[in-house]
Amino acid sequence: MNGFDTAEGRWIDRLGTQLGAPAVADRLEDIECSLASVGLGIVRWYGVRVFNDAIPADTGVPEVEVLSSLLDAEERAGRRDPYRWVASQIHVIAERNRAGDGFGVASI
C-alpha cells in the first residue's frame, strides 16, 4: 500500500522495499530547499533506475552484451530530460555556496 504522507510531504511505500526497509521519497524541489537551508546548492542531478525498475527482481542476470546495453542506456537516460524525471531514484551533487546561483532544479 502506497500513500502520500502530507504531514511529512513525502511519498511512503508502506509495504517496504525489496530489502525489507520502508521506502520514503522526497521531491527534488524539497531536497533543493533542504540543501539551500544549510548553504548548499544543487550542481547536477541524475535519474537512477530509469529502465531497470521495470525488470522483475527475480529475473536472472542478463548476458554481458545485454547488461552492457542496459547500463549504457541507464547512464544516458539518467542525465537527460525527460527520462531522468521518471527514474525511481536520484543522485544529487551539491556544493557549498551554490544556493541561488542558477544551478537549481529548473535550470539543470
Q: How far is CA 54 from CA 11, 43, 76, 101, in A?
A: 19, 29, 17, 36
Q: 1 and 15 in contact (C-beta within 8 Å)?
A: yes
Residue stretches of the chain with pLDDT short of 50: 1-4, 6, 12, 14-15, 99, 102-108
Q: Mind listing the pLDDT tens digit for each residue in 67-80?
A: 999 999 999 999 99
Rg (CA), the chain: 16
Q: Cα torsion at 87, 89, 10, 45 (round to 10°)?
A: -90
**What pLDDT, on the 0 to 100 scale, is given for residue 8?**
52
CA 4 to CA 67: how far, in whole Å?
34
* Predicted pLDDT of residue 3: 46
Predicted pLDDT at 54: 79
> What is this structure's pTM?
0.65
